[in-house]
């Protein structure tokens, strides 16, 4: 991953919310005239700590001091004195806007779809058993209907043809995800799964929640303890630890590639039905609104967003090694609608019950 130049301190807050303070430029040399306090999803910490991002913001008169939190945990924080919140999807942003009486359209400067990273052996076994297709050496498609059917039946790797020759492919077949009650990627995974399970419709009412709950509980329960951060889950995967199939953001893979790392054992599977993580700004002050506009419109910052793996709104990124690992355009990938914050919270609660 991109090495962070700057200061990142991690502390544990009440309720298990991890916060990292990301320093901007050194105050003694900063040209910025206004300091903007932000709370952001952890997957954006490296972006805001990047010296080139710090320089681009300073050139416009701003230093952003960012603290990280799980996107869904932001609702429980006291944001008095902050200038903006930047959760990793629209639903928690809408809830925050309602809480702090922020009106108007919330800026969505960039986004990233959920993908599944797989070790090569696992991806090839999935493809051999009709659960995935491979169109490049390091890229393919996960068939969500087929995967959810396997999950309902508690299928094991041992039941899949070709898995027997790989000692690491044992036990129940499942995707590792983060805790959906605190982490955006975990919650969005449930959103995509419930959408497919509901016949291609967003889960909306109590009856549909009741119907989806048993499957979602099975998807989560099989994992045991879950990570609270997609960054930690992705680092574990890259290091070779943990499950061979992990739900992460496409941006995390793109950032790894931009750093010059090209793991031969990595295959990126795009679920044929997935959810975009729409990074959505909740401006709490005029300064926060100004920074949100810069993130959406400033060409230097938009180019840096692509370097960190994010897809700026209104443009097609040119990711490093995209032809091999990543899709430049999300053709063949259906975007599922996300339930309201209230419904998604209930789905997460029932999944973790």
- What CATH number corresponds to the domain at position 305? 3.40.190.10
Domain membership flag for residue 214: yes
Tally of domains within the chain: 2
Domain membership flag for residue 319: no
Q: Are 247 and 116 in contact (CB under 8 A)?
A: yes
In this structure, are 269 and 129 located in the same domain? yes
Q: Which residue segment(s) compose the domain that 188 sits in?
A: 112-276+325-352
Domain membership flag for residue 79: yes
What is the pLDDT at residue 82? Answer: 98
In this structure, are 299 and 210 located in the same domain? no
Six-digit token string for 343: 């419904």
Domain membership flag for residue 3: no
What is the pLDDT at residue 232? Answer: 85
The dihedral over CA atoms of 148, 154, 159, 164, expressed in degrees to the nearest 10, equals: 100
The residue assigned the tokens 């008169």 is 61
What is the pLDDT at residue 289? Answer: 97
In this structure, are 122 and 18 located in the same domain? no
Phi then psi dihedrals of residue 139, to 5 deg: -150, 145
State mean pLDDT over 278-292.
97
Instruction: List pLDDT tens digits, range 110-125.
Output: 999 999 999 999 999 9
Domain membership flag for residue 284: yes
In this structure, are 106 and 159 located in the same domain? no
332 vs 221, more confident: 221
What is the pLDDT at residue 23? Answer: 37
What is the pLDDT at residue 7? Answer: 31
Statement: residue 57 has pLDDT above 90: yes
In this structure, are 122 and 15 located in the same domain? no
Statement: residue 70 has pLDDT above 90: no
In this structure, are 175 and 219 located in the same domain? yes
Choice among 3-12, 179-188, 207-216 with the minimum mean pLDDT: 3-12
pTM for the model stands at: 0.85
Residue 5 banded pLDDT, cuts 50, 70, 90: very low
In this structure, are 65 and 158 located in the same domain? no
Pairing of strands 110-119, 132-136: unpaired
Instruction: List pLDDT tens digits, range 234-263.
Output: 989 999 888 999 999 999 999 899 888 999
Cβ atoms within 10 Å of 175's Cβ, excluding its own: 22
What is the pLDDT at residue 1? Answer: 43
Statement: residue 158 has pLDDT above 90: yes
Closest by CA to 313, choosing from 28, 106, 36, 82, is: 106
**What are the b/e assignments for 129-154, b being 16+ CB within 10 Å?**
bebbebeeebbbbbbbeebbebbeee
In this structure, are 78 and 147 located in the same domain? no
Choice among 26-30, 129-133, 219-223, 346-350 with the minimum mean pLDDT: 26-30
In this structure, are 81 and 173 located in the same domain? no
What is the pLDDT at residue 94? Answer: 92
Mean pLDDT of the chain: 88
What is the pLDDT at residue 322? Answer: 62
Domain membership flag for residue 1: no
In this structure, are 44 and 132 located in the same domain? no
Per cent of the chain over pLDDT 70 is 90
Domain membership flag for residue 300: yes
In this structure, are 72 and 141 located in the same domain? no
DSSP states of 9-21 as a string? Answer: EEEE-TTS-EEEE
State mean pLDDT over 180-185.
88
In this structure, are 106 and 118 located in the same domain? no
What is the pLDDT at residue 314? Answer: 85
The residue assigned the tokens 């032809």 is 323
Statement: residue 192 has pLDDT above 50: yes
Residue 150 banded pLDDT, cuts 50, 70, 90: very high
Instruction: List pLDDT tens digits, range 319-333.
Output: 766 668 999 888 889
How far CA 264 is from CA of 32, 121, 235, 257, in Å, comes to 42, 11, 16, 12
Statement: residue 9 has pLDDT above 50: no
């Amino acid at each position: 991953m991109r090495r962070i130049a700057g200061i990142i301190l991690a502390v544990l807050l009440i309720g298990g919310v991890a916060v990292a303070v990301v320093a901007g430029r050194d105050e003694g040399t900063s040209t910025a005239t206004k300091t903007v306090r932000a709370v952001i999803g952890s997957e954006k910490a490296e972006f805001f700590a990047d010296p080139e991002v710090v320089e681009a913001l300073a050139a416009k008169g701003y230093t952003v001091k960012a603290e990280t939190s799980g996107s869904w945990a932001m609702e429980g924080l006291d944001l008095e004195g902050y200038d903006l919140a930047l959760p990793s999807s629209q639903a928690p942003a809408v809830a925050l806007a309602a809480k702090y009486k922020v009106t108007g359209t919330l800026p969505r400067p960039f986004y990233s779809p959920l993908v599944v990273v797989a070790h090569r052996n696992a991806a090839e076994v999935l493809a051999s058993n009709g659960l995935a297709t491979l169109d490049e050496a390091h890229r393919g498609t996960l068939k969500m209907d087929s995967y959810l059917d396997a999950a309902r039946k508690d299928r094991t790797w041992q039941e899949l043809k070709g898995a027997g020759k790989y000692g690491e492919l044992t036990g129940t077949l499942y995707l590792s995800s983060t805790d959906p009650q605190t982490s955006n990627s975990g919650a969005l995974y449930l959103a995509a799964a419930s959408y497919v399970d509901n016949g291609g419709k967003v889960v909306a009412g109590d009856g549909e929640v009741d119907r989806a709950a048993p499957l979602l509980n099975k998807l989560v329960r099989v994992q045991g303890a879950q990570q609270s951060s997609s960054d930690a889950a992705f680092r574990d995967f890259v290091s070779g630890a943990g499950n061979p199939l992990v739900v992460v953001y496409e941006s995390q893979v793109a950032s790894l590639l931009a750093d010059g790392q090209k793991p031969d054992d990595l295959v990126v599977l795009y679920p044929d039905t997935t959810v975009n993580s729409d990074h959505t700004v909740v401006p709490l002050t005029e300064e926060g609104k100004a920074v949100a506009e810069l993130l959406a419109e400033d060409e230097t910052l938009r180019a840096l967003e692509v370097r960190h793996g994010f897809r700026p709104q209104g443009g097609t990124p040119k990711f490093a090694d995209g032809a091999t690992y990543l899709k430049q355009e999300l053709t063949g990938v259906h975007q599922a609608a996300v339930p309201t914050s209230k419904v998604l919270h209930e789905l997460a609660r029932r999944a973790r019950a």
